[in-house]
Amino acid sequence: MGFELTPDKHRQGGLPNRVKYVPKARDCLHALILDTHLPPLLKDVAQRLMAYLYWPAEVLPSLNYANGSLRQQRVERRDSCLRLLLAVLRQLDLASLRVGTPTAEGFRPVPLTALSKKARLGVRRRSVSSSVAQTSPDSQDQAAHELERHPDKERKRETPTRVAEAAWSDIGVAGLLETHQVCQFVDGEWRTFVALKTVKPEFFYALGISKRALKRARDFASQRLKKKAAQWARGNPSRPSSNYAKFLLMRNGTVFDDGKRQRHGSVGGAASPQSPPTGPPLTWADWNEETRRAYTLKCADVMIQDPTLTPDAVHRAALAWLQTR
């Protein structure tokens, strides 16, 4: 009997007893399945992809032999590739098959550093002092001024870990994604921007997704994107994004604050007696409809600008913005 790839196939798999490494891809899959804003097709693909952990040669042979060796890919490398691919599915725009977020200002691609964070592969922090020394004198003065204002923030630059870079290299060699570097000639020099990452349709076909099912899902996503574009053209915010932000922050009548749950009656927390509250009241029940709408729309705007932020960080940013109104 041949190998049949189904969404529940990964539940039948197991690793040999001699393997001491504990894969973390299952935790990433569990978090992705609970993320209800993803289309059903992407959740189906994520579950089918999990079978690669146990049957790499049968599920994605091109990824299994991406390093040029006929030996089976190590469990650690399989796990990192899976986690990175799950992060790609989480940030995938199904209409264009590009990794990023469509906004009113244009498409915003997601850098590999953010994907590495989503995949829980970590990041490296490198010093940027050497790059500052190679710039023009005016740029050096500006950079030095920025370093004085934000010393801890500007001295380090986050880059993907070597594990994430190796996994991304294998995924590219396997032909599952395409990467196009964006460069522009600005002020007499070439500047690079976040590369455009596109998932190939063959990736879905290899996991048993038919062309008809993929086309149907992409057409549905395109229709939703057209409605968003029409709302942006009229100057109206997109309701799905605001509703999703509100759902994250106030699911089951609660918001997130350092891992602890609070009721709607204490959205922002009570102010200290030494510092009298300013701006709108910090209690959700005391807010009027205009303030509630402004808070929800600000949450959506913050999430679109930086999809890697946690719900608690989004809540704090929106609340700080309300205090300055």
Within-domain flag for 246: yes
Assess whether 78 and 56 both reside in one domain.
Answer: yes
Assess whether 67 and 194 both reside in one domain.
Answer: yes
Question: Count of CB atoms within 10 A of residue 208's CB?
Answer: 16
Assess whether 194 and 152 both reside in one domain.
Answer: no
Q: How many domains does the chain have?
A: 3
Contacts (Cβ under 8 Å, ≥6 apart) of 105: none
Within-domain flag for 118: no
What pLDDT score does 154 carry?
A: 52
Q: Taking the alpha carbons of 199, 204, 205, 210 in that order, is the dihedral positive or negative?
A: negative
Contacts (Cβ under 8 Å, ≥6 apart) of 198: 96, 97, 98, 99, 177, 178, 179, 180
**Which tokens go with 253?**
């009548």
Within-domain flag for 54: yes
**Residue 320 to residue 325: CA distance in whole angstroms:** 9
- Domain span including residue 141: 124-157
Assess whether 152 and 168 both reside in one domain.
Answer: no
**Residue 150 to residue 128: CA distance in whole angstroms:** 13
Within-domain flag for 304: yes
What pLDDT score does 190 carry?
A: 81
What pLDDT score does 77 carry?
A: 93
Assess whether 64 and 144 both reside in one domain.
Answer: no
Assess whether 297 and 169 both reside in one domain.
Answer: no
In degrees and rounded to multiples of 5, residue 115 shows phi and psi of -65, -40
DSSP designation for 95: T
Query: Measured between alpha carbons, how far apart are the two ends of the chain, in Å?
Result: 67
Within-domain flag for 295: yes
Assess whether 79 and 176 both reside in one domain.
Answer: yes
Assess whether 40 and 180 both reside in one domain.
Answer: yes
Assess whether 202 and 262 both reside in one domain.
Answer: no
What is the full per-residue pLDDT of the chain (325 aa) written as tens digits? Answer: 568 888 888 888 888 877 878 888 888 888 888 766 889 999 999 999 999 999 999 999 999 999 888 889 999 999 999 999 999 999 999 999 999 998 888 888 999 999 999 999 988 887 765 444 444 444 444 545 555 555 555 557 888 999 999 999 999 999 999 998 888 777 778 888 888 999 999 999 999 999 999 999 999 999 998 888 888 777 755 555 555 555 455 444 444 444 444 433 334 444 333 333 444 555 566 677 788 788 888 888 887 777 777 777 888 888 888 878 7
What pLDDT score does 243 carry?
A: 52
Within-domain flag for 298: yes
In the chain, the amino acid numbered 66 is A
Last residue of a domain, one of 223, 246, 275: 223
Assess whether 307 and 203 both reside in one domain.
Answer: no
The beta-strand segments (E) located in 94-213 are: 98-103, 106-109, 123-127, 156-160, 177-186, 189-199
Within-domain flag for 117: no
| CB of 323 closer than 8 Å to CB of 317 | no
**Residue 46 to residue 40: CA distance in whole angstroms:** 10
Assess whether 148 and 89 both reside in one domain.
Answer: no
